[in-house]
Structure 1
C-alpha cells in the first residue's frame, strides 16, 4: 500500500550529516561505523534512505529545508543555530540544490500542483517499483531563513508549498517548542504573505501562545505534519486535545511522529532506550487512534514520521529497523479494527485529500 510520510529532513541529512541517501540504509550505517564517526548520536543507526523508502512503498513525502537561526544564549547548547538569517538562507538553498540533484538522477521528483500529485499517486498505486522516483512536496521547517517577502516569493517559485514558522525555541517569526511567547510582528506579516501565495501553514512546533495567535489570524489551509498527543505524552511539544479539536474543526490532518520521546511518557534523552522503554509502533497507533477518537472518524489522522530528524534507531520504535517498516502500519491498523477505507485514509488518503482541497482552492 502507498505510504505518504509528511515529514522527512532528507536535505538536512545529506548536507549536515553528509549522507548519500541514494544508497541503502545498510550501506550508510556500514560507512559511518567503518569511519568511526561519532559527531552525531545516530551515527551508524540511521533509518531513512531512498531505496528503503521505495522498498516500503513510501512513495510520496513532504521533504524539508531546515536551517534554524541563532536561538539565543539560554538555549544555545541544546539548540545550535546559524549565526545570521543570511547563512540560514544559504543553507536552505544548498538543501534545495541537493533535491534538484536528486531530481536530475531521477531519484526524486518534485510535486508542486494537483497534476503532479495525481501523476505520482497513480504511478505508485498502479506499479510500485524500486525504479520509481520518490515524489516530494517541499516544506520549510522553521522560517528563520526567510529574509524578506521577496525571498518567500523566490522560495515559492522554487516549489515551496508549506511552512512551519518556528522550530525549537524562540525564532525570528515566533516562539517554538519549549519556549513561551507569541508571534513576532514579522511573524504576523509572514502569515499574510503565506496566505497570499497559497502556502500551507504547518502548526507543528508552535508554542501554545503562537499556536492560538496564528489560528486567530489564519483562514487558509493548515496541517500538523508531525505532531502527537499531549493527552498521551504530557509535554508542550505535543498538542492538547483543545488544540487538536480546533485543527480538526478546520479540516487539518495531523501526522503521527515516530520520535520515541513523543510516543511514550517518561523518556529521558541519552538514557532511555527503545528496549528499556518498550516503545514500539503500537504506540504510534495509540496517537493515531486518539486523533480519530477526537474527530469521530479517520479523516484527520495520518503519518509524519520525522524518522531522520536528528535521531536513528536509538530513539525510534524498537520494532522499526528502517523506514521500509512503515509498510506494516496498514496491517496493524486493520488488526485494531480499522476498516479498509480508513486504513487507506491514514496511510495516504488524508494527505492527498487535504492537498486536493488546498490546491483546488488556490486555483
Structure 2
C-alpha cells in the first residue's frame, strides 16, 4: 500500500536532535545511547530508509521556529529574525537531501505526478527519493507578511499559523484569543499565494476566526478527536463538521497522549495505557462516522515529533509499521476503496484540487 504521511518534523530531527536520517533507524538510536538531553533519545522510529521500507513515498515535511516573549517559558527563539534563520537552516537541510538524491520537493501538479509515476513504477524503493511537500508549523518565523513570498518561492505550500502557546500571528494549543490584524493579513497573503491553511494547533478562538476569514484550501495535518481524548489540542465534533464542510482532510496522529485519555507524560507507558494502532483506528472511525464517508481522513502521524517509542503505539516499532493499518481498517469493515482513500487517496485528491 502506497502511503502519504501529512506531518513529519524531519528537519527538526536532523538539526535539533542531530539525527542523520539517511542512516538506518537502529544506527541512529544506537548513537544516542547514554544521551539524556531529550526524553526520546534512542527511541526514534523515523528515518528515510524506514520510510522507503514502509512504502511511504510522499510526506508533508515541516519547518518550525517559535518566537518566545520574555514571559513565555516554552522553548523558542528570542526574535522573529532568529526563528526565520532557524527555518532557513532547516530548508538548507532539505536542499542538501535533494542534492544527495535522498529527497525531492513536490510543489505542483507536475512534480506530484512525476513523483508518483517514479515511486509507483514497480521497482524496488531502495534508491527512490522521498517526496516532500514543505510546510511551516507555526508562523512566528515569518518576520513580516512580506517574507511569505520568499518562503513560497522556496517551496512552502502549507502553513499552520500557530503551534503551542501564544503566537505572533495566532494563538495555539493551551492558549486562547483571536488573531490580531497581522494574523488576518497573513491569511490574505496565504490566500493570494495559494498556500494551504493547516488548521492544526489553532486554539478554538483562532480556529473559528480562520475558517470565517480564509477562502483558500484548508487541511488539518495531524489532529485527533476531542470526543475520545478531551483536550483543547483535539478537535470537537463541531470543529470536525466545519472542516468537512470546507472539504478538508484530517491527518490521524500517533502521539499517545492524543490517542488515549489520562496519559501522564514521563510516567504512562503505551502498554500500560493499551495504546496501540487500533486506537488510531478509533479516532479515524469517529471522523468517518461524522462525515458519513471516508473522504476526510488520512495519515498525519507526527512520529518523532519530540517523542519516540516511549509515547507512541506499542505495536509500532518504526514508521514502516504504518503498513499494519490497512488490515486494521478492513477488520472494521472498510472496503479496499475506503482504505486507499485513507492511506493516500484523500491527500492526493486534496492536492490535485488545490494545485489545479
The answer for the alignment partner of 1:265 in structure 2 is 261
Give the Å deviation of 1:59: 0.6
Q: 1:95 aligns with which of 87, 90, 93?
A: 90
**Contact 2:249–2:296 (CA<8 Å) still a contact in 1?**
yes
The answer for the alignment partner of 2:43 in structure 1 is 45
Q: 1:216 aligns with which of 201, 212, 217?
A: 212
Q: 2:100 aligns with which of 105, 113, 128?
A: 105
Q: Determine whether 1:155 maps to 2:151.
A: yes
**Contact 1:259–1:315 (CA<8 Å) still a contact in 2?**
yes
Normalised TM-score (structure 1): 0.96
Give the Å deviation of 1:284: 0.5
**Contact 1:71–1:169 (CA<8 Å) still a contact in 2?**
no
The answer for the alignment partner of 1:288 in structure 2 is 284
Q: How does 1:228-239 map to 2 (within 5 A)?
A: 228-239=224-235
Q: How does 1:1-363 map to 2 (within 5 A)?
A: 1-33=1-33, 36-70=34-68, 73=71, 75-76=72-73, 79-127=74-122, 128-360=124-356
3-state SS of paired residue (2:264)? coil
Give the Å deviation of 1:231: 0.5
What is the aligned residue count? 355
Distance 1:182 1:150 in 2: 22
Distance 2:23 2:180 in 1: 41
3-state SS of paired residue (1:149)? coil
| Change in 2 beyond 3 A, CA 1:130/1:46 | same
Moved over 4 A (4+): none
Distance 2:251 2:137 in 1: 15
Distance 2:186 2:93 in 1: 26
**Contact 1:71–1:80 (CA<8 Å) still a contact in 2?**
no
**Contact 2:69–2:78 (CA<8 Å) still a contact in 1?**
no
Q: Deviations over 1:189-220 (max 9, x none)?
A: 10000000000000000000000011110111
3-state SS of paired residue (1:277)? coil
3-state SS of paired residue (2:56)? coil
Give the Å deviation of 1:182: 1.1
Give the Å deviation of 1:295: 0.5
Unpaired segments ≥5 residues, structure 1 = none
Give the Å deviation of 1:72: 5.2
Normalised TM-score (structure 2): 0.98
> Over aligned residue pairs, what C-alpha RMSD do you find?
0.9
Q: Deviations over 1:106-126 (max 9, x none)?
A: 100000100111122222223
